[in-house]
Structure 1
Amino acid sequence: MTTDLIQVLIALLAGIGVIILLTAKYRVHALFALFLACFVTGLVVQLSVADIITAMKDGFGNIMKSLGFIIVLGTTLGVLLEHTGSTRVMAAFILKIVGERYAAVAMSLTGFIVGLPIFCDSGYIVLSGLNQSLAKRTGISVVIMSVSLATGLYAVHCLIPPHPGATAAAGTIGADFGKLMLMGIGVAIPAAIAGGWWAHYAGKKIPVVQQAETSEAANSPAPPVWLAFLPVAVPILLIAIGAFTNIEKTTNGTLRFFHTLGDPVLALSVGVLLAFAGGRGWNKTTTGKLLGEAAEKAGGILVIIGAGGAFGAVLAAAKIGEHVSAAVPLGSFGIVFPFLLAALLKTAQGSSTVAIITAASIVQPLLPALGLDSDMGRILCILALGGGSMTLSHANDAYFWVISKFSGLEMRIMLKVYSIATLWMGLVTLLVVYLLSLFLL
């Protein structure tokens, strides 16, 4: 290896080490960990402080420009669906269709659908009361029920925009947002099935004492089924139309209109307006409180994503990708490399979002060497990163403890059932993405 390659590898490892050490051991907020990693990496490759700061500003700004409104609107949609009781209505409807005998499948499916606009930890907290109630009523082990719900939520959280990891990776790598969302849904389905299968297989042998029901919103007014699903279904439909219509080649006014509405910012805005229709008794106090809560929640996500963009810009300025691709035959790794990188980061520091943002920054300049420098290649790369960011969730993951706390499951059971379920989910995702790459690349 040349001196330049050794130097950039040391810089890369130093930056990743700073992120893992600060976030995993010292519990430093990911924003500051990524901020410091920018300087560590840049200084090791002998960039000037001025060049590092310029790259960080450019990277942060570019990510905000492309993703800021999407994250804010997606977060707002989730907050409003929780408040109006739409999540509970969707869950009850799915259970009615599937039947109590398949309550675990119903909870997995509920997690999958509810998880499209709502982050996995929030979705689990909102649905935990219903989950406990169904476990008690059906006699199905709370382990099976809880892990089925958790993995349904987790599959979409790691793979599908507007969740922060996949959204940030799309901005960093430059993938089409709408196509990524639709393909992500297709890949997330087998991942969720794998998680639910392991929950049933491993959980049926573990008897657990049921907790008392904790649902606080069971008697509150809720929208009709069609209105509960509408804020989720309409944006997905609009984004799908936008992704697969070419506005430059059509003169049809209706198609052009729907293509414009298919912009993720406008599509999510429509979803937010429809979510308001699912509630009653709106007033300026309630509305202001909910919108303020959404803005504050989105702000915490945006600063992490922006810092990830800054880190990626520093890596680009250091030309790490060029040095690595010139010395290592990355083409033989293909789609497996982004998966392994994200899995390593996820297992080491716990956050799926930090794992996929960091890995995307590293992989972006390597796309030509990996054979993924095409529209479809970028999408498959992000899905591989998402699969890696699932693998595997254990005690350093905040979501792990949300599930444990709200389900009353001790750590031994969580590791045996939930953590192994996330391993299966990641491996199944890698297999599906690899098979897709054989036909689409």
Structure 2
Amino acid sequence: MGLVLILVALIAFIVLSTTRLKLHPFLALLGAAIIAGFAYQLPAPEILKTVASGFGGILGYIGIVIALGTIIGVILERSGAAITMAETVIRLLGQRFPTLTMSIIGYLVSIPVFCDSGYVILNSLKNALAARMKVSVVAMSVALATGLYATHTFVPPTPGPIAAAGNLGLETSLGLVIAVGLVVALVTALAGMLWANRFLKQNDKELLEEAPSELLDDAVDFEALKARYGKLPSAFQAFAPIFVPIVLICLGSIAVFPSKPFGDGLLFGMLNFFGQPIAALLVGLALACTLLKSADKRQEFHDYVADGLVSAAPILLITGAGGAFGAILKVTPLGDYLGTTLSALGIGLFMPFVVAAALKSAQGSTTVALVTTSALVAPLLGQLGLDSEMGRVLTVMAIGAGAMTVSHANDSFFWVVTQFSRMKVSTAYRAQTIATLIQGVAGMITVWLLSLVLL
């Protein structure tokens, strides 16, 4: 019991230090790792050695993937490719199903672009569509936000799921994580969209801080936004840096199936190489370079890479610190004790879901919840009966579902949605926060149903 109390105290330390004390999650996780070493009475010389090896181990492979994914996201954002993606989906779906259109746009854009950035980019488009289709801005805002949130939480190359997959030993199985993540994310996006539909015909005057008549200006703003990017890229140029790497990773995963569907010759060798996440994302980065349009493309590319690395740095540090925390926990007796206890309770995949949901609700960051929970759960997979490849993939999904639950005042994304939509805070709690709760529960139910079939 004492082992569990120490774990609870460590989680409380992470939550309190990142919320009340405003300590950066990197330092909070690193501090928790060192404190855990002493609390579990590990030999003092081994504590820092284990922390360093855990930090370097997780970043040795996943770090490059996170950096490349972030750079591609910056290029897509700055080049106007995200706007092209949005307009392509609108042309395909038309304007009959406004919330479905917004949800699909968010679902696609947030695979490479952070949900916060994606919302800011697409906000004017969302408002313009709401005005054009004469539907509630709140409904469109929630549909967009939940669509973005779905793939942000479940689908690599978004850094959170990549880090969780790395912590659980799935570095070479990202294709499977992507495939399952796309399915679970689709269910959660649809759940968010159905909740958004409750607000379709409601009076925005009662839900927004400002009168909806001003939304007509946003249609003009969107045209001005497009003009600022100059000539927008084609649909192929916009989608290729995202979907070509995903296809390569999935084909690479299929190529190594025991049945050898592509044989074992040159085709197998090429797919096995380019299907590795690093190689696939390098191909994506090369395709993203077709989006460069300034006179000095070398300088433009250099600036985008620099900005991408600045954005990736905090994620890399948090991911590494999460790996250090997990490495410490792995060498303690906690795994055997907690795993045996939880196995007896029969809660399986629901354990990582509950831990991630508690962390997310308490400290606000989806990425921190994903990284921390995956580090905590990694030593317990064997005892939980989740030590197979598919068991680990579904554990990532269960953690992702928990890391959605719930977005409220301590989450930056909550405030991005609230402020850019001009919702009253009370409206945002009813619309956005409840939507993320529904998404998380729907995601966990989906993961549980998949486990009945796949495990």
Q: Which deviations, in whole Å up to 9, do the C-alpha atoms of 1:84-136 show, x marking residues without a partner?
A: 11110110111112122322211110111111111111111111121122122
1:321 lines up with 2:335 in the alignment = yes
Q: Which deviations, in whole Å up to 9, do the C-alpha atoms of 1:153-204 show, x marking residues without a partner?
A: 1001111112222111111111221110111001110110000110111454
Deviation larger for 249-258 or 193-202: 249-258
Q: Which deviations, in whole Å up to 9, do the C-alpha atoms of 1:26-50 show, x marking residues without a partner?
A: 2221101111111222222122432
Cα distance, 1:327 vs. partner?
4.0
Cα distance, 1:282 vs. partner?
4.9
Equivalent residue runs for 1:137-286 within 5 Å: 137-175=132-170, 176-202=173-199, 204-207=201-204, 208=208, 209-210=211-212, 211=215, 212-213=217-218, 214-215=221-222, 217-219=225-227, 220-246=230-256, 249=260, 250-283=263-296, 284-286=298-300
Is the 2:245–2:283 Cα contact (8 Å) retained in structure 1?
A: yes
Cα distance, 1:252 vs. partner?
2.5
1:95 lines up with 2:103 in the alignment = no
Cα distance, 1:270 vs. partner?
0.9
* C-alpha distance in 1 between matches for 2:135 and 2:49: 56
* C-alpha distance in 1 between matches for 2:203 and 2:44: 56
Is the 2:342–2:384 Cα contact (8 Å) retained in structure 1?
A: no
Is the 1:95–1:103 Cα contact (8 Å) retained in structure 2?
A: no
Cα distance, 1:331 vs. partner?
5.9
Q: Secondary structure at the match of 1:372?
A: coil
Task: Find 2:406's aligned residue among 389, 392, 399.
Answer: 392
Cα distance, 1:388 vs. partner?
0.6
Equivalent residue runs for 1:35-184 within 5 Å: 35-175=30-170, 176-184=173-181
Return the letter of the residue paired with 1:369.
Q
Fraction of identical pairs, as percent: 39
Task: Find 1:339's aligned residue among 347, 350, 353.
Answer: 353
Moved over 4 A (4+): none
Is the 2:353–2:402 Cα contact (8 Å) retained in structure 1?
A: yes
Cα distance, 1:61 vs. partner?
0.4
- In 2 relative to 1, CA 88–367 (structure 1 residues): closer, same or farther, beyond 3 Å? same
Return the letter of the residue paired with 1:217.
L
- In 2 relative to 1, CA 402–330 (structure 1 residues): closer, same or farther, beyond 3 Å? farther
Deviation larger for 83-92 or 207-216: 207-216
* C-alpha distance in 1 between matches for 2:364 and 2:329: 22
Q: Which deviations, in whole Å up to 9, do the C-alpha atoms of 1:237-269 show, x marking residues without a partner?
A: 101101111188532212321221111111111
Is the 1:330–1:370 Cα contact (8 Å) retained in structure 2?
A: no
Q: Which deviations, in whole Å up to 9, do the C-alpha atoms of 1:42-86 show, x marking residues without a partner?
A: 222122432221111011001111201100010011100111111
* C-alpha distance in 2 between matches for 1:426 and 1:296: 30
Is the 1:30–1:304 Cα contact (8 Å) retained in structure 2?
A: yes
- In 2 relative to 1, CA 48–78 (structure 1 residues): closer, same or farther, beyond 3 Å? same
* C-alpha distance in 1 between matches for 2:295 and 2:144: 31
Gap runs ≥5 in structure 2: none
Q: In the alignment, which residue of structure 2 is the partner of 1:291?
A: 305
Cα distance, 1:275 vs. partner?
1.3
